[in-house]
Structure 1
Amino acid sequence: MTAPADKATGKIWEGNLRAAELFDLGIKKPALYDAVEQEVRGHAYRAELSQYIPEPVLSPSPVLSPEAVVPPDSWWESLRADLSTVAKAVTDRVAVRQEWVDRSVPHFLNLPAPQVIEWETAHGDLQPANLTSRTPYLLDWEGFGTAPVGYDPAMLLAYSALAPVFVARVRETFPVLDTEAGRIAQIVVITELMQSASRGDHPKLVPALRALAEGLAW
């Protein structure tokens, strides 16, 4: 990574290091072996050496294809256990803020902004391209932090909305999605993806996201 020296700090810059401190011995993620920073002519540079994971990712794209193979029971059990460990971690990092929810949900979904009551630590970008297909390993930790309870399963569900069999397995594995906290988490995630779509990301996912949102409006 590189950034102007006076901006070489914060959530993304230090995310992998902070995640390594919390999770490298507790869950299946690439271990961070070393990190080096250097400043040259007003710019900061950061290089990280991480464990090589010899597994393909679940999907080459964050949006899961309808033809995607649903992993076996052991994969889901491992993912559920690791997310449970992550959720219990204590951190001052923030992945989602109530202020953003208040502004963005009415704008992108035309729904009242929900008040998030329950928070937990989340990976923050749990989509199919950040999960390996066999173990699974959880990749890309730059954005982890506190988020609504159920946020990570909601993210995986939303990015998999074009693959109904996979979605059904997400719901089976994570019953939190059928609670009020899970409903709120899904609204928050769908809002994020609709905001991203407004910038041109993954337009094919938009109709499915709107259909999900309609089912969550009370």
Structure 2
Amino acid sequence: MFTAPEPAVAERMLSARGHACALLGLADTTGGEVWGYAGRTLSGAVHTPTGATAWLRLVSDSQGKSGGKLWEGPREAERFLPPAVPRPRLVGLCDWSAGGWDYRAEHYEFVASWPVARSPVLHPLHQHADLPDTWWQGLHRALAHLARIRTGRQAVREQYIRRRLPEFTGVTPGEITWATAHGDLHWANLTGPELTLLDWEGWGAAPLGYDAAHLYLHSLPVPDVAERVRMEFAHVLDTPDGWIGELTACTEILQAAPRVPFYAALADGVRQHLSRLQEAGSRT
């Protein structure tokens, strides 16, 4: 999803990936690396002892700073989410520390379907979400099952919403309706034409409509797809509760824009949409 990090980070993570394969009894492969932001994560295909393809995700943090919501998210998703939420199944996991870094390696079953897009944001010239009705129906079912999960995890903290929404949107939120959300629902975390939801680091409670709003905002450069998302989730987004979820998603993207290039490119479209949301809110 992101470009490769600086050489020293890439070398360290690739070496750690080889160590992870040895610990988990997997065979490393070359090429096809999928990097996370600033090289924090490294993912890619590996092989099991039987020759089957699997997926290995490696995450690192400064020694002593690992743990917390993002670190534990994938393991807690495997423990608490029902099979009705289609996701890669976590097969094995190992932790170790070396050279001032903590590492966690996660071994997953391989998902044959590719992400709908290589980037979180759809691009009209290179990517297009031409998905069947059954895919959208599956997404509705998955998010409905997820919303009913009871968890103490937070995808978005209430303190953040009450502090940042007035700053970025001019809206002071009242009562917030919460539901359990994926927390990072965009086109690089959804596979097609067979639906799987990838990347369960940040799942937890969020304002109602937050996931649908994120998917809509990441679709803005391709208007017909954005319109489809809006139509599919109008029953949530076009409500006062969903309005807060959508304002929250706008706020996060605008706050991240100065440091994340694809959000910087998306920011103008988000601001235009935010103006429409503010206008609609003033009429209610």
TM range (shorter): over 0.9
Q: What is residue 122 of structure 1 aligned with on the other side?
A: 181
Q: What is residue 64 of structure 2 aligned with on the other side?
A: 6
With over 3 angstroms needed to count, the CA separation of the structure-2 counterparts of 1:69 and 1:41, relative to structure 1, is closer
Q: What is residue 216 of structure 1 aligned with on the other side?
A: 277
Q: Distance in 1 between matches of 2:95 and 2:140?
A: 34
What TM-score does the superposition give when structure 1 sets the normalisation length? 0.93
1:72 aligns with one of 112, 132, 155: 132
How far did residue 134 of structure 1 move? 0.9
How far did residue 76 of structure 1 move? 0.1
Q: What is residue 106 of structure 2 aligned with on the other side?
A: 48
- Aligned positions, number: 217
CA distances 1:110-152 after superposition (whole Å, capped 9, x unpaired): x123234210110000000100021110000001110001111
Q: What is residue 37 of structure 2 aligned with on the other side?
A: none
Give 1:69's aligned amino acid: A
SS in 2 for 1:216: helix
Task: Tell me which stretches of 4 or more aligned residues in structure 1 moved more than 6 Å.
Answer: none
With over 3 angstroms needed to count, the CA separation of the structure-2 counterparts of 1:42 and 1:65, relative to structure 1, is closer
Contact residue 116 and residue 148 of structure 1 kept, 8 A: no
Q: What is residue 143 of structure 2 aligned with on the other side?
A: 83
Q: What is residue 166 of structure 1 aligned with on the other side?
A: 225
Greater strand percent: which structure? 2
The percentage of counterpart residues that share the same residue type is 37
Contact residue 70 and residue 165 of structure 1 kept, 8 A: no
Gaps of 5+ in 2: 1-58
Q: Distance in 2 between matches of 1:116 and 1:129?
A: 32
1:63 aligns with one of 121, 138, 143: 121
Give me the CA root mean square deviation: 1.6
2:194 aligns with one of 120, 135, 142: 135
With over 3 angstroms needed to count, the CA separation of the structure-2 counterparts of 1:122 and 1:36, relative to structure 1, is same
> Which has the higher Rg, Structure 1 or Structure 2?
2
Gaps of 5+ in 1: none
SS in 2 for 1:6: coil
Give 1:147-162 correspondences, 5 Å limit.
147-162=206-221
